Amino acid sequence: MVHLLGFDLDGLVAYCEGLGEKRYRAVQLYRWIHQKGASDFGEMSDLAKSLRSKLAEHAQVCALPVLSEKVAADGTIKWLFDVGGGNAVETVYIPEADRGTLCISSQAGCAVGCRFCSTGHQGFSRNLESFEIVAQLWFAEHRLRERLHLPDGQRAIDNVVMMGMGEPLQNYAALVPALRTMLDDHAYGLSRRRVTVSTSGVVPMIDRLREDCPVALAVSLHAPNDVLRDDLVPLNRKYPIGVLMQACANYLSAAPRDFITFEYCMLDGVNDTPAHAQELARLVAGRGPLSDVRVSCKFNLIPFNPFPASGLHRSAPDRVQAFAGILQAAGIVTTVRRTRGDDIDAACGQLAGEVQDRTDAPRRMARTPIPIQPVAQENAR
Ligand code: SAH
Ligand code: SF4
């Protein structure tokens, strides 16, 4: 059976043409599925009976099995979905006064292995397929519309961030059709500015995303120099800060926003000193030793959400404020992310799920504590 949720419109058109149907039929079908949340072909009253029975024979539109649904005190909802083989992924809905955000997973586990991330500590199980990525939005949107009693045509979710489990740019082939469905006016019709791909810095795929499907980009930076970033975000050894900054600058030529968001997880005594903030300000202004490229950016400081295996601690609030103050004084818009849903472990980096651990990640992670790099020495490199 073919999972129709995995097709972008062109894919669905090609599939329908294979069944001997015209393009406009595919558009109708796409609208039934994504705009109305229909999964029963029998209900799709303006499709010919013959097409409905062909679809029922060969195709399906189905939600991922829900393992749990938890609602936090602040209204944040976390769903745990079964993706088979003992793997589960999480999706988080974050209601705000002016918008509804859905945080979507792209992989079961993650191969990047960042030290401060519980998904990274689990290791990598598998890539999600396009239909599994879209199924998270399809389910959440229609479940919420029902629950919030929204009038026809009103969306529950108008902002999507690929910030759940996994590294979206290491699952590029499945990601792009899913993004296209999020953006398509016949489906969810989200603005490119309100679909954000967050990456730990897979440079070649940042370049490809710029060509294939430019959406808002967030880059998880977490360190102002390669020595520290190599340790926190191991992918940095492959794509160091210099090439990452160049990729960010290039991305801006096609991006729907005129800045890159840099995410920076504040780790007590590791990356949160005033000297680190000054080094960061020089880096993005193109005045650091690693890059002479100026990147128009905003910083989002994320209070670290601790989990026992990390051995790391959250920076004190006055540390975070001082750090933000230095970036702001350098003219960089800086916000501190409010932690949402932490009473249900739905906050950033707490999306542990029930992914089976089939790798040696926990052993790797348990090695030596992170060295604190003297900033002056790093500048001399
Ligand atoms: N793999 C992608 C997207 C998923 S992680 C990426 O790394 O960007 C989404 C964000 O949560 C990233 O900025 C990541 O650095 C952050 N994060 C991970 N673990 C965290 C933790 N324990 N506390 C706070 N933020 C965390
Ligand atoms: Fe993977 Fe992102 Fe977690 Fe790093 S922070 S391990 S890239 S999910």
Q: What is the pLDDT of residue 349?
A: 60
CA of 364 to the centre of ligand 1 (A): 19
Fold of 66-364: TIM Barrel (3.20.20)
Residue 156 identity (one-letter amino acid)? A
pLDDT attached to residue 348: 63
Q: Does the beta carbon of 110 sit less than 6 angstroms from any atom of ligand 2?
A: yes
C-alpha distances (whole Å) from 290 to each of 263, 270, 325 are: 19, 20, 23
CA-nearest of 232, 327, 312, 310 to 276 is 327
> Taking CA 47 as the corner, what is the angle to CA 44 and CA 49, rounded to the nearest 5 degrees?
100
Kindly give the distance from the C-alpha atom of residue 244 to the centroid of ligand 2, in angstroms, as a whole number.
Answer: 16
Q: Are 305 and 347 in contact (CB under 8 A)?
A: yes
Ligand 1 closest atom vs CA 307: 22
Nearest 5°: CA angle at 95, between 63 and 251? 80
The residue ranges of the chain whose pLDDT is under 70 are: 344-381
The CATH number corresponding to 2-60 among 2.30.30.40, 1.10.150.530, 3.40.50.300, 3.40.50.620 equals: 1.10.150.530
The CA 9 to ligand 2 mean position distance, Å, reads: 30
The predicted pLDDT at position 338 comes to: 81
pLDDT for 344: 67
Please answer whether residues 251 and 209 qualify as being in contact, where contact means their C-beta atoms are separated by less than 8 angstroms: yes
pLDDT value of position 354? 39
- In the prediction, which pLDDT does 340 show? 74
Measuring CA to CA, which residue among 235, 194, 234, 233 is closest to residue 217? 194
Active site includes 69? Answer: no
Q: What distance in Å separates the CA atoms of residue 284 and residue 248, rounded to the nearest whole number?
A: 10
How far is the first Cα of the chain from the last one, in angstroms, to the nearest whole number? Answer: 56
Domain coordinates in residue numbering, the chain: 2-60, 66-364
In this prediction the pTM is 0.92
pLDDT per residue over 289-338, tens digit each?
A: 999 999 999 999 999 999 889 999 999 999 999 999 999 999 999 999 88
Report pLDDT for 350.
Answer: 60
* Ligand 2 atom at minimal distance to the Cα of residue 349: 3
